[in-house]
Amino acid sequence: MVEVITKNSDETKKIAAQICTKLKSGNVLALQGDLGSGKTTFTQGLAKALGVKSRVLSPTFTILRQYKIENSKFSTLNHLDCYRVSGPSDLESLDILNLCGQPNSLTIIEWPERIACILPKTTLKISFETLEGQQRKIILPEELKI
Ligand code: ADP
Ligand code: MG
């Protein structure tokens, strides 16, 4: 595990952009952390680095937002927020297992603990902790070391 401390949201977005270079087609990222710890901010930084033009909002009320990407190693960014999901059966209609790991896609899941049992074994876990003030601790797996 690798720990990074960021001092503001721009730094968190910058870390996300750096991590982007380490990601591969079909990767699934599970972003764990309390409300306000920076999961959506991180996703915004990643989306920008991938060239997503539209604004990335928290998908809390929609569960899933999909973004098309051009001229990148990914053609689709799937952004899921499982905050309001009580278990995997809530997601059946989304066919999440089919979505996760599709070639040329990148899937980012907030509140992954709600659907832990259906996540692919290869899911990369990133944790967020709120420290004092605007500081956040981001814990990354070795393979995403920057
Ligand atoms: P989450 O998706 O984990 O609930 P958000 O990314 O939506 O969290 O919200 C994080 C909030 O904290 C935003 O308002 C952001 O501007 C603020 N913030 C302050 N410092 C940081 C930081 N170091 N990294 C990320 N967000 C930060
Ligand atoms: Mg969020």
What is the chain's pLDDT, residue by residue, as a tens digit (146 residues)? 999 999 999 999 999 999 999 999 999 999 999 999 999 999 999 999 999 988 898 877 778 899 999 989 999 999 999 998 888 888 776 777 787 778 899 999 999 999 998 899 999 999 999 999 999 999 999 999 98
The residue whose CB lies within 8 Å of the most ligand 1 atoms, and thus the one to mutate among 5, 6, 9, 48, is 9
How far, in Å, CA of 131 to CA of 113, rounded?
Answer: 21
Tokens representing residue 27 in the block: 């990767």
Output the pLDDT for position 125. 98
Q: Distance, CA 40 to ligand 2 centroid (Å)?
A: 4
Q: What pLDDT score was predicted for residue 49?
A: 96
Residue 100 has what pLDDT? 79
What does the pLDDT read at residue 9? 98
Contact 9 CB / ligand 1 (< 6 Å): yes
- Ligand 1 binding pocket includes 10 (Cβ within 6 Å): no
Cβ neighbours of 27 (radius 10 Å): 20
Burial of 71 (0-12, 13-18, 19+ CB in 10 A): exposed
| Ligand 1 atom at shortest distance from the alpha carbon of 12 | 24
Calculate the alpha carbon distances from 23 to 72, 97, 106, 145 in Å.
11, 19, 8, 11
Q: Which atom of ligand 1 is nearest to the CA of 37?
A: 3
pTM: 0.95
